[in-house]
Amino acid sequence: MNTILPEAVLFDLDGTLLDTAPDFHFVINQLLAEQQQPPVSYDFIRGHVSNGARAMVCAALSLEEHSAGFDQLHQRMLELYLQHLDVDTRPFPGIQNLLNWLGEKHIPWGIVTNKPECYTTPVMQGLNLQPAAGTVICPDHVREKKPHPEALFLACKELKTAPERTVYIGDHRRDIEAGLNAGMPTIAVSYGYLDENENIDNWNSHYRVDHASEIRPILETLFCNR
Protein backbone atom coordinates (compact mmCIF):
# COMPACT_ATOMS: atom_id res chain seq x y z
CA MET A 1 0.00 0.00 0.00
CA ASN A 2 2.90 2.39 0.58
CA THR A 3 4.55 1.97 -2.82
CA ILE A 4 2.36 4.78 -4.17
CA LEU A 5 1.87 7.47 -1.54
CA PRO A 6 -1.67 8.94 -1.33
CA GLU A 7 -2.32 12.63 -1.82
CA ALA A 8 -6.01 13.08 -0.90
CA VAL A 9 -8.86 11.62 1.17
CA LEU A 10 -12.50 11.07 0.23
CA PHE A 11 -15.34 10.27 2.63
CA ASP A 12 -18.80 8.86 2.27
CA LEU A 13 -21.25 11.22 4.00
CA ASP A 14 -24.03 9.55 6.04
CA GLY A 15 -22.59 7.09 8.53
CA THR A 16 -18.96 7.96 7.80
CA LEU A 17 -18.42 11.70 8.06
CA LEU A 18 -21.77 12.74 9.56
CA ASP A 19 -24.13 11.15 12.06
CA THR A 20 -27.42 11.98 10.33
CA ALA A 21 -29.48 9.28 12.05
CA PRO A 22 -30.98 11.56 14.75
CA ASP A 23 -32.63 13.79 12.14
CA PHE A 24 -33.84 10.81 10.11
CA HIS A 25 -35.30 9.28 13.27
CA PHE A 26 -37.23 12.46 14.00
CA VAL A 27 -38.53 12.71 10.44
CA ILE A 28 -39.57 9.06 10.15
CA ASN A 29 -41.52 9.33 13.38
CA GLN A 30 -43.17 12.49 12.07
CA LEU A 31 -44.26 10.52 9.02
CA LEU A 32 -45.51 7.66 11.19
CA ALA A 33 -47.50 10.08 13.35
CA GLU A 34 -49.15 11.52 10.26
CA GLN A 35 -50.13 7.97 9.30
CA GLN A 36 -51.39 7.29 12.84
CA GLN A 37 -48.72 4.64 13.28
CA PRO A 38 -46.63 4.07 16.44
CA PRO A 39 -43.08 5.47 16.49
CA VAL A 40 -39.99 3.37 15.87
CA SER A 41 -36.85 3.38 17.99
CA TYR A 42 -33.68 5.26 17.19
CA ASP A 43 -31.72 2.01 16.93
CA PHE A 44 -34.24 0.67 14.42
CA ILE A 45 -33.82 3.64 12.08
CA ARG A 46 -30.05 3.77 12.56
CA GLY A 47 -29.79 0.30 11.06
CA HIS A 48 -31.49 1.46 7.85
CA VAL A 49 -30.01 4.93 7.21
CA SER A 50 -27.22 3.83 4.85
CA ASN A 51 -29.76 2.07 2.63
CA GLY A 52 -31.46 5.37 1.84
CA ALA A 53 -34.81 7.08 2.28
CA ARG A 54 -36.77 4.44 0.39
CA ALA A 55 -35.45 1.69 2.64
CA MET A 56 -36.25 3.68 5.78
CA VAL A 57 -39.84 4.26 4.66
CA CYS A 58 -40.25 0.59 3.73
CA ALA A 59 -38.84 -0.59 7.06
CA ALA A 60 -40.75 1.86 9.25
CA LEU A 61 -44.10 1.25 7.56
CA SER A 62 -43.56 -2.45 6.73
CA LEU A 63 -44.00 -1.76 3.00
CA GLU A 64 -42.42 -2.75 -0.28
CA GLU A 65 -41.48 -0.15 -2.88
CA HIS A 66 -44.25 -1.47 -5.13
CA SER A 67 -46.86 -1.17 -2.38
CA ALA A 68 -49.84 1.09 -3.02
CA GLY A 69 -49.15 4.61 -1.74
CA PHE A 70 -45.42 4.09 -1.29
CA ASP A 71 -44.39 6.85 -3.70
CA GLN A 72 -46.53 9.42 -1.87
CA LEU A 73 -45.15 8.35 1.51
CA HIS A 74 -41.59 8.47 0.20
CA GLN A 75 -42.14 11.96 -1.20
CA ARG A 76 -43.69 13.14 2.06
CA MET A 77 -40.74 11.79 4.01
CA LEU A 78 -38.36 13.78 1.79
CA GLU A 79 -40.43 16.93 2.29
CA LEU A 80 -40.23 16.49 6.04
CA TYR A 81 -36.50 15.84 5.87
CA LEU A 82 -35.88 19.09 3.99
CA GLN A 83 -37.35 20.88 6.99
CA HIS A 84 -35.21 19.02 9.53
CA LEU A 85 -31.97 17.95 7.89
CA ASP A 86 -29.32 19.65 10.00
CA VAL A 87 -30.94 20.06 13.41
CA ASP A 88 -29.21 17.23 15.26
CA THR A 89 -26.78 16.04 12.55
CA ARG A 90 -23.16 16.27 13.66
CA PRO A 91 -19.75 14.98 12.58
CA PHE A 92 -18.98 11.68 14.27
CA PRO A 93 -16.70 12.00 17.31
CA GLY A 94 -13.13 12.28 16.11
CA ILE A 95 -13.99 13.58 12.63
CA GLN A 96 -13.34 17.27 13.32
CA ASN A 97 -9.93 16.47 14.80
CA LEU A 98 -9.19 14.43 11.69
CA LEU A 99 -10.21 17.30 9.40
CA ASN A 100 -8.03 19.66 11.45
CA TRP A 101 -5.07 17.33 10.90
CA LEU A 102 -5.75 17.11 7.16
CA GLY A 103 -5.79 20.91 7.05
CA GLU A 104 -2.52 21.18 8.97
CA LYS A 105 -0.89 18.74 6.55
CA HIS A 106 -2.43 20.47 3.50
CA ILE A 107 -4.08 17.21 2.46
CA PRO A 108 -7.17 17.88 0.32
CA TRP A 109 -10.35 16.05 1.19
CA GLY A 110 -13.79 15.63 -0.28
CA ILE A 111 -17.09 13.78 -0.16
CA VAL A 112 -18.58 11.18 -2.49
CA THR A 113 -22.13 10.31 -1.48
CA ASN A 114 -25.30 8.75 -2.87
CA LYS A 115 -27.26 11.48 -1.03
CA PRO A 116 -28.85 13.87 -3.58
CA GLU A 117 -27.44 17.37 -3.83
CA CYS A 118 -30.64 19.06 -2.63
CA TYR A 119 -30.08 17.48 0.81
CA THR A 120 -26.28 17.31 0.86
CA THR A 121 -25.65 20.99 0.11
CA PRO A 122 -27.83 22.46 2.90
CA VAL A 123 -26.46 19.96 5.42
CA MET A 124 -22.88 20.91 4.54
CA GLN A 125 -23.70 24.62 4.55
CA GLY A 126 -25.39 24.32 7.92
CA LEU A 127 -22.45 22.52 9.53
CA ASN A 128 -19.81 24.65 7.79
CA LEU A 129 -17.04 22.11 8.38
CA GLN A 130 -13.54 23.55 8.32
CA PRO A 131 -11.29 23.15 6.50
CA ALA A 132 -13.88 22.98 3.76
CA ALA A 133 -14.22 20.02 1.44
CA GLY A 134 -12.43 20.44 -1.86
CA THR A 135 -15.14 18.52 -3.69
CA VAL A 136 -18.61 17.18 -2.94
CA ILE A 137 -19.92 14.68 -5.47
CA CYS A 138 -23.58 13.62 -5.37
CA PRO A 139 -25.52 11.29 -7.66
CA ASP A 140 -26.81 14.40 -9.48
CA HIS A 141 -23.29 14.92 -10.86
CA VAL A 142 -22.79 11.49 -12.42
CA ARG A 143 -24.66 8.87 -14.43
CA GLU A 144 -23.85 5.93 -12.16
CA LYS A 145 -24.18 5.67 -8.37
CA LYS A 146 -21.80 3.81 -6.10
CA PRO A 147 -20.59 1.06 -6.19
CA HIS A 148 -19.77 2.27 -9.71
CA PRO A 149 -16.52 4.27 -9.48
CA GLU A 150 -17.64 7.16 -11.71
CA ALA A 151 -18.27 9.54 -8.80
CA LEU A 152 -14.88 8.74 -7.27
CA PHE A 153 -13.14 9.41 -10.57
CA LEU A 154 -14.91 12.78 -10.82
CA ALA A 155 -13.90 13.69 -7.26
CA CYS A 156 -10.28 12.86 -8.05
CA LYS A 157 -10.45 15.03 -11.15
CA GLU A 158 -11.72 17.97 -9.10
CA LEU A 159 -9.04 17.44 -6.45
CA LYS A 160 -6.41 17.01 -9.18
CA THR A 161 -5.23 13.68 -7.84
CA ALA A 162 -5.05 10.17 -9.26
CA PRO A 163 -7.44 7.48 -7.91
CA GLU A 164 -4.56 5.27 -6.78
CA ARG A 165 -3.30 8.23 -4.73
CA THR A 166 -6.67 8.85 -3.04
CA VAL A 167 -8.02 7.07 0.03
CA TYR A 168 -11.76 6.38 0.21
CA ILE A 169 -13.49 5.88 3.57
CA GLY A 170 -16.99 4.46 3.94
CA ASP A 171 -19.45 2.61 6.17
CA HIS A 172 -21.21 0.50 3.53
CA ARG A 173 -20.16 -2.39 1.34
CA ARG A 174 -20.93 -0.33 -1.77
CA ASP A 175 -18.46 2.35 -0.60
CA ILE A 176 -15.64 -0.15 -0.36
CA GLU A 177 -16.63 -1.77 -3.64
CA ALA A 178 -16.62 1.64 -5.32
CA GLY A 179 -13.18 2.41 -3.90
CA LEU A 180 -11.80 -0.94 -4.98
CA ASN A 181 -13.37 -0.52 -8.42
CA ALA A 182 -11.56 2.82 -8.67
CA GLY A 183 -8.23 1.32 -7.60
CA MET A 184 -8.13 3.27 -4.34
CA PRO A 185 -6.85 2.36 -0.89
CA THR A 186 -9.99 1.87 1.22
CA ILE A 187 -10.91 2.19 4.89
CA ALA A 188 -14.13 0.58 6.15
CA VAL A 189 -15.69 2.09 9.27
CA SER A 190 -17.85 0.05 11.65
CA TYR A 191 -19.12 3.00 13.70
CA GLY A 192 -21.64 3.94 10.98
CA TYR A 193 -24.96 2.45 10.03
CA LEU A 194 -24.24 -1.23 9.54
CA ASP A 195 -27.09 -3.61 8.79
CA GLU A 196 -27.70 -5.98 11.69
CA ASN A 197 -26.34 -9.04 9.87
CA GLU A 198 -23.54 -7.27 7.99
CA ASN A 199 -19.96 -8.46 8.50
CA ILE A 200 -17.63 -5.60 7.69
CA ASP A 201 -14.68 -7.98 7.43
CA ASN A 202 -16.24 -9.47 4.29
CA TRP A 203 -15.94 -6.20 2.38
CA ASN A 204 -12.25 -6.77 1.58
CA SER A 205 -11.24 -3.23 2.49
CA HIS A 206 -7.55 -2.51 2.97
CA TYR A 207 -8.21 -1.25 6.51
CA ARG A 208 -11.07 -1.11 9.02
CA VAL A 209 -11.69 1.09 12.03
CA ASP A 210 -14.21 1.03 14.86
CA HIS A 211 -13.95 4.72 15.78
CA ALA A 212 -13.14 7.80 13.71
CA SER A 213 -10.12 8.49 15.93
CA GLU A 214 -8.51 5.37 14.45
CA ILE A 215 -8.46 6.81 10.93
CA ARG A 216 -5.67 9.32 11.48
CA PRO A 217 -2.98 6.76 12.46
CA ILE A 218 -3.69 4.86 9.25
CA LEU A 219 -3.47 8.02 7.19
CA GLU A 220 -0.27 9.07 8.98
CA THR A 221 1.27 5.79 7.82
CA LEU A 222 -0.03 6.15 4.28
CA PHE A 223 0.96 9.80 4.01
CA CYS A 224 4.38 9.10 5.48
CA ASN A 225 6.04 11.71 3.25
CA ARG A 226 4.07 14.55 4.86
Q: What DSSP assignment string belongs to 13-37?
A: TBTTTEE-HHHHHHHHHHHHHHTT-
> Could you give the dihedral angle defined by the CA atoms of residues 139, 144, 148 and 151, in that order, rounded to the nearest 10 degrees?
-40
The DSSP secondary-structure symbol of 133 reads P
Q: Report d(CA 151, CA 140) in Å as an integer.
A: 10
Do residues 39 and 4 make contact, with C-beta atoms less than 8 angstroms apart?
A: no
Do residues 198 and 178 make contact, with C-beta atoms less than 8 angstroms apart?
A: no
Cβ count within 10 A of residue 41: 10
What residues have CB less than 8 Å from 164, skipping those under 6 apart? Answer: 4, 183, 184
The values of phi and psi at residue 134, to 5°, are -80, -20
Q: Report d(CA 106, CA 118) in Å as an integer.
A: 29
Q: Which residues are catalytic?
A: 12, 14
